[in-house]
């Protein structure tokens, strides 16, 4: 009955359009009142202690770094470099958009931030060059999901905290899966562009042009090298890397690219603070919700139920995949990681999955949730930029959904794709 009250009130609040962070907190509070076994102070304590974490400090700094770099002239330079690489191919603008999102993913750590930064430039540009608006918008929305797969990644930080996994190893493990997802999206963009006759740029690609655009984008391209090299080289922690990314972004925007001014900084800080507050409210509420699940022994009940269905490893991991895909449709990614990691990680380890590999599986699963309605955050951001309805965009993005699903299955059943790079540090 406690489980019914907890999930029932949570579903009710979501149906009433209560923000997910508040809905998680209110459903936890309602269940506390119902059981009477836990003091009300439990919720307040969890809201505070859950975010009192050094590794979690990386989240607001990566959010701030993404805001600074998104407004500091980096997006346009990354696109120019990507366009020089693939712009003359069939569907060159679409492919350059996806490559740009992959570059920006290595800076922002956020799916919606990637869509906002790249979509504002690329959706109008693609439409001007004759691309169908639905296809252009779907391309940006899907490619933006790579923002949480290629490191740095805010969901990976959260998984590392909740699952007691190395955040540095999570970052390294996400590199190859991120490229696999990106190449799958590039494949569909090429196939569709070939079918529709979307040609590339008339001017041929030249080493001189690639070299020029690379040099122009060098201050942006070096950021992931600094972050990942510093973490994996043992020079600094992921949290310290996030701070360094902020400082570097300010220097690049103000003094190297000179597209930021001191006057821009208050709004950047304010926007980052609002995003951070939203994220941390979700983290605090979801942690309290998850702790209540643990107290009521719901994770072990779910594990026993799933193991009773089948003992076949493939069937069980496919069941977990379907569950995560469904959860991604209705729940915020960070909340889903906090609530489901204590439930699913023990099952995965019992099946022989490495915790880092399973973390990547979770992140990629939930990244697909960015483009699946009704919650699909990337759909809403892209829709706001292009003016298309969510219904139109949801239909246009279906092929990209299957491309990401194919990538997910590869990542799930070929552990080396996630763990190979980590093995070099052992």
Ramachandran bin of 301, using left for φ above 0, alpha for ψ from -120 to 50, beta for the remaining angles? alpha
Asked if residue 205 lies in contact with residue 88, where contact means CB atoms within 8 angstroms, the answer is yes
3-state secondary structure of 169: helix
Question: Percent of the chain scored above 90 by pLDDT?
Answer: 23
Question: What average pLDDT is seen over the chain?
Answer: 86
| Mean pLDDT, residues 2-13 | 85
Task: Please say whether the beta carbons of 196 and 132 come within 8 A.
Answer: yes
Measured from the Cβ of residue 297, the count of other Cβ atoms closer than 10 Å reads 12
With contact defined as beta carbons under 8 Å apart, do 371 and 328 qualify? no
Mean pLDDT of 59-76: 80
Distance from C-alpha of 325 to C-alpha of 205, rounded to nearest angstrom: 40
Give the number of domains in the chain: 1
**pLDDT surpasses 60 at 426:** no
Residue 414 vs residues 70, 163, 165, 411: alpha-carbon distances, Å? 34, 21, 20, 5
DSSP assignment letter at 202: S
pLDDT in tens, 265-283: 999 899 888 888 888 888 8
Question: Model confidence over 204-219: pLDDT tens digits?
Answer: 677 888 898 888 888 8
What mean pLDDT comes out for the span 30-59? 83
pTM: 0.85
Decide: helix, strand or coil at residue 151: coil
- CA distances (Å), 416 to each of 148, 150, 177, in order? 20, 16, 10
Q: Average of pLDDT values for 111-138?
A: 85
- Per-residue model confidence as pLDDT tens digits over 354-413: 999 999 999 999 999 889 887 788 888 888 888 888 888 989 999 999 999 999 999 999
**Residue 151 belongs to what domain range?**
2-422
| pLDDT category of residue 184 using cuts at 50, 70 and 90 | very high
Residues sharing a CB contact under 8 Å with residue 168, sequence separation 6 or more, in sequence order: 231, 232, 237, 238
The three-class DSSP label of residue 87 is coil
């Amino acid at each position: 009955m406690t489980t019914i009250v907890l999930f029932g009130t949570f579903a009710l609040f979501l149906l009433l359009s209560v923000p997910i962070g508040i809905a998680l907190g209110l459903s936890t509070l309602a269940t506390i009142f119902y059981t009477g076994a836990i003091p009300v102070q439990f919720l307040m304590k969890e809201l505070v202690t859950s975010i009192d974490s050094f590794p979690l400090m990386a989240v607001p700094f990566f959010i701030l770094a993404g805001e600074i770099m998104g407004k500091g002239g980096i997006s346009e330079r990354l696109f120019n470099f990507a366009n020089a690489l693939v712009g003359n191919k069939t569907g060159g603008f679409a492919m350059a958009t996806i490559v740009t999102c992959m570059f920006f993913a290595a800076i922002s750590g956020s799916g919606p931030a990637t869509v906002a930064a790249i979509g504002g430039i690329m959706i109008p540009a693609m439409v001007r060059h004759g691309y169908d608006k639905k296809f252009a918008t779907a391309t940006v929305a899907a490619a933006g999901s790579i923002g949480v797969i290629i490191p740095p990644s805010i969901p990976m930080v959260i998984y590392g905290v909740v699952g007691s996994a190395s955040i540095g190893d999570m970052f390294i493990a996400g590199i190859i899966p991120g490229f696999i997802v990106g190449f799958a999206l590039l494949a569909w963009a090429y196939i569709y562009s070939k079918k529709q006759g979307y040609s590339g740029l008339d001017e041929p690609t030249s080493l001189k042009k690639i070299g020029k655009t690379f040099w122009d984008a060098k201050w942006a391209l070096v950021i992931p090298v600094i972050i990942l090299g510093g973490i994996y080289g043992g020079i600094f922690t992921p949290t310290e890397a996030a701070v360094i990314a902020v400082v570097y972004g300010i220097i690049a925007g103000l003094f190297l690219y000179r597209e930021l001014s001191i006057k821009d900084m208050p709004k950047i800080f304010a926007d980052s603070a609002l995003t951070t507050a939203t994220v941390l409210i979700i983290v605090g509420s979801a942690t309290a919700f998850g702790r209540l699940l643990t107290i009521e022994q719901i994770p072990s009940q779910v594990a026993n139920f799933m193991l009773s269905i089948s003992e076949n490893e493939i069937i069980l991991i496919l069941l977990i995949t379907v569950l995560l895909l469904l959860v991604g449709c209705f729940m915020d990614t960070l909340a889903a990681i906090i609530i489901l990691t204590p439930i699913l990680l023990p099952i995965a380890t019992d099946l022989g999955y490495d915790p880092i590999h399973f973390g990547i599986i979770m992140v990629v699963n939930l990244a697909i949730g960015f483009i699946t309605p009704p919650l699909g955050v990337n759909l809403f951001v892209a829709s706001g930029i292009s003016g298309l309805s969510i219904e139109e965009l949801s239909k246009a993005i279906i092929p990209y959904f299957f491309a990401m699903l194919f990538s997910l299955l590869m990542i799930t059943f070929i552990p080396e794709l996630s763990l190979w790079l980590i093995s070099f540090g052992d």
